[in-house]
A and B are shown apart, each in its own frame.
Chain A
Amino acid sequence: MSEHPVPSAGVRLASAVCSTEVVVVRVADPTVVIECGGAPMRAAGTPPTPGAAPAPGRDGGSLIGKRYGGADAPVELLCVKPGAGTLTAGGHVLELRSAKALPASD
């Protein structure tokens, strides 16, 4: 796998600057670069660069179990490991998708 993988559903990515890991849920634009903490994300299994930290303004953090993206975003991500960086795609912040409060059905 290349250092900055082409996003496709099911691919797992790791932040270069914090502990964040995501799984790509949906892709509308496969050319977009997915970033965390201001730096492009890499294939899962690549540890964060030692000493690196999220860029200023890109340190909003990620929450496990939350989906980031939205209807018009180029990608939707599921955070599977939380971290300190903000998730962005092509420089645009991916919004935290609010959970739909559905009652348990099974």
Chain B
Amino acid sequence: MLLEMVADTIGDRIAIGSHSDGTTYAELLATARRGAARLRAHGTERVAYLGLNAPQLPALLFAAGAAGAAFAPLNYRYTDAQLSAAVAALAPAAAVLGPGAAGRINGGNGVDRLDADALFAGPDAGPDAGPDGEPAFVAPDAVAVLLLTSGTSGPPKVAVLRHEHLVPYVISTVEFAAAGPDEAILVSVPPYHVAGISSVLTSVYAGRRMVQLPAFAADAWVELAATERVTHAMVVPTMLGRILDELERRGERLPALRHLSYGGGRMPLPVVERALRLLPGVDLVNAYGLTETSSTIALLGPDDHRAALASDDPAVRARLGSVGRPLPSVELQIRDDDGVPVPAGVSGEVWVRGEQVSGEYVSHRATTADGWYPTRDRGHLDAGGYLFLDGRADDVIVRGGENISPGEIEDVLLEHPAVADAAVLGVPDTEWGERIEAVIVPAGAPPAEPELQEWVRARLRSTRVPARVHVRNALPATETGKVLRRLLREELGAAREAIG
């Protein structure tokens, strides 16, 4: 439906790819309709996709939507055994293998492999491809997308997003066909990430040309952004740091770029300040959202960034480290452990409610009867309603009865010039219940443990000082840059057992 509207209005504009050889909206709609007719004929209710960012991805997303089937993009970083388990959990399902994925999923046991090229190659189909020729109707509560959460603090869960969540998200946050003909967005977030899906939906509805980077690498990103004169992009924090390095190395400043949004994890303040310095003409947007909320629920906009940077008021300046204010269509509250809302300035769990909020998994529903979803993120609001995140509720360290957020200690460690990356976690301790330990990646020669302990003591307080500082070459992370704390915790726990 969304794609149909765009194709009706600006069908001859390029939807995906270059101006010279890209796919128009009219062609994308025709491709999606051919795919939908094949999927309807097949009768499958779930369509898995394994592959990189490619033109088939938007076509398949819309084809599955029109056919009333759930679209389930899979993580190509999984081992073949993990993939088989993921697909088996979706069965009965059709599996579409995109570029780079040939032979990675076996058919059988309720899984039908479909060839992407054959799927879209059939005869042209109209919108009325139902068996009786009646208009195809997809119920709003039909499942649109199934996504695995990243599982940084526990095993991944399969989140359920229905049409009734995604459609309101798109139509209430995006102005239809409002993108200028020169606008282009560089999509480099993998398809199995919620931003990879929402990016396709919002870009299409806005009529903004998508330029796809099959898989992220900073040099390829900068190259493509320059040649395609990209105006918009969305990146996760680790990507932005590497992109800024690459821009400095090349002396490239991407004159066409005017809008850069970032999200999907904690962004270190030094990286934001560097981006503002290196790309002064670019509007920065910090977006906070979860898989379970159909992407963005709070935004720190370009004006917020500029006001914070220019302000002498420490409270306003601090907002550069916030994720901004909730969308007008989303209600947001901070609640204590008993589920009671707390006033501004007090930390607690972030709860949200709104049409785009699903809060539902294949296994269970996490929302309350009145629609509130506990995000498991901890944070607080300031007097102006700006949201500051402290980290995952499951990552809170309880030391001697005091709740400590690892995020504030990590931020302080990251400000040390010799620290490139840092993770702070609680390790079981007989005296304190949990004690604080830090794992750092040095920027050069590793700094001495006492120096970093003193650094934290001087900026926070003595209860925040890590009892140990471990040095590693890298932190285990998801591809989108989220630290896998559960792995680090297991590692530190195992080391402790070996010693003790």
Is B295 an interface residue when CB atoms closer than 8 A count as contact? yes
Known: A9-B140, A105-B261. A100 touches B135 (CB 8 A): no
Residues from chain B with a CB closer than 8 A to the CB of A44 are 135
Binding stretch for chain A, among B54-62, B296-304, B466-474: B296-304
Please tell me if the beta carbons of A103 and B171 are within 8 angstroms of each other in the complex: no
Residues from chain B with a CB closer than 8 A to the CB of A9 are 140, 164
Binding stretch for chain A, among B1-9, B237-245, B366-374, B444-452: B1-9
Known: A45-B128, A66-B176, A81-B8. A105 touches B234 (CB 8 A): yes
Residues from chain A with a CB closer than 8 A to the CB of B8 are 64, 81
Is A80 an interface residue when CB atoms closer than 8 A count as contact? yes
Task: Count contacts between A and B, CB distance < 8 Å.
Answer: 92
List 12 A–B pairs whose Cβ atoms lie within 8 Å, in order of A's numbering. Answer: A10-B163, A11-B137, A23-B1, A64-B177, A65-B9, A67-B172, A102-B174, A104-B202, A104-B232, A105-B173, A105-B296, A105-B299
Please tell me if the beta carbons of A106 and B140 are within 8 angstroms of each other in the complex: no
Please tell me if the beta carbons of A64 and B9 are within 8 angstroms of each other in the complex: yes
Please tell me if the beta carbons of B177 and A65 are within 8 angstroms of each other in the complex: yes
Docked complex Cα distance between A103 and B4 (Å)? 24
Instruction: Specify the chain A residue showing the minimal Cβ separation from B261.
Output: A105
Please tell me if the beta carbons of B302 and A103 are within 8 angstroms of each other in the complex: yes
Docked complex Cα distance between A104 and B202 (Å)? 8
Residues from chain A with a CB closer than 8 A to the CB of B137 are 10-12
B314 to chain A, nearest CB (A): 25
Please tell me if the beta carbons of A80 and B1 are within 8 angstroms of each other in the complex: yes
Chain B interface residue number, banded: 35 or more
Interface residues as binary, B224-259 with A (CB distance below 8 Å gives 1, 0 otherwise): 000000001010000000000000000000000001
Please tell me if the beta carbons of B259 and A65 are within 8 angstroms of each other in the complex: no
B468 to chain A, nearest CB (A): 38
Residues from chain B with a CB closer than 8 A to the CB of A102 are 173-174, 299, 301, 327
- From DSSP, what is the main secondary structure of chain B's interface residues? mixed
Is B138 an interface residue when CB atoms closer than 8 A count as contact? yes
Contact of A67 among B9, B135, B171, B289 (CB under 8 A): B171
Interface residues as binary, B148-178 with A (CB distance below 8 Å gives 1, 0 otherwise): 0000000000000001100110011111111
Residues from chain B with a CB closer than 8 A to the CB of A64 are 5, 8-9, 176-177
Docked complex Cα distance between A72 and B140 (Å)? 22
Interface residues as binary, A53-69 with B (CB distance below 8 Å gives 1, 0 otherwise): 00000000000111100
Please tell me if the beta carbons of A25 and B171 are within 8 angstroms of each other in the complex: yes
Is A78 an interface residue when CB atoms closer than 8 A count as contact? yes
Is B195 an interface residue when CB atoms closer than 8 A count as contact? yes
Residues from chain A with a CB closer than 8 A to the CB of B261 are 103-106
A91 to chain B, nearest CB (A): 26
**Complex A-B, nearest 6 residue pairs according to Cβ-Cβ distance, in ascending order:** A65-B176, A105-B287, A10-B140, A105-B296, A106-B198, A99-B175
Residues from chain B with a CB closer than 8 A to the CB of A67 are 171-172
For window 70-106 of A, CB contacts with B under 8 Å fall at 78, 80-81, 99-106
Residues from chain B with a CB closer than 8 A to the CB of A101 are 175
A2 to chain B, nearest CB (A): 14
For window 159-208 of B, CB contacts with A under 8 Å fall at 163-164, 167-168, 171-178, 185, 189, 195, 198-199, 202, 205-206, 208
Residues from chain A with a CB closer than 8 A to the CB of B199 are 106
Residues from chain A with a CB closer than 8 A to the CB of B171 are 25, 67, 78
Q: Which of A23, A25, A102, A103 has the most CB of B within 10 A?
A: A103
Given contacts A25-B167, A65-B9, A106-B295, 11 further A-B contacts (CB under 8 A): A10-B138, A10-B163, A12-B137, A25-B171, A78-B171, A102-B174, A102-B327, A103-B285, A104-B206, A104-B232, A106-B234
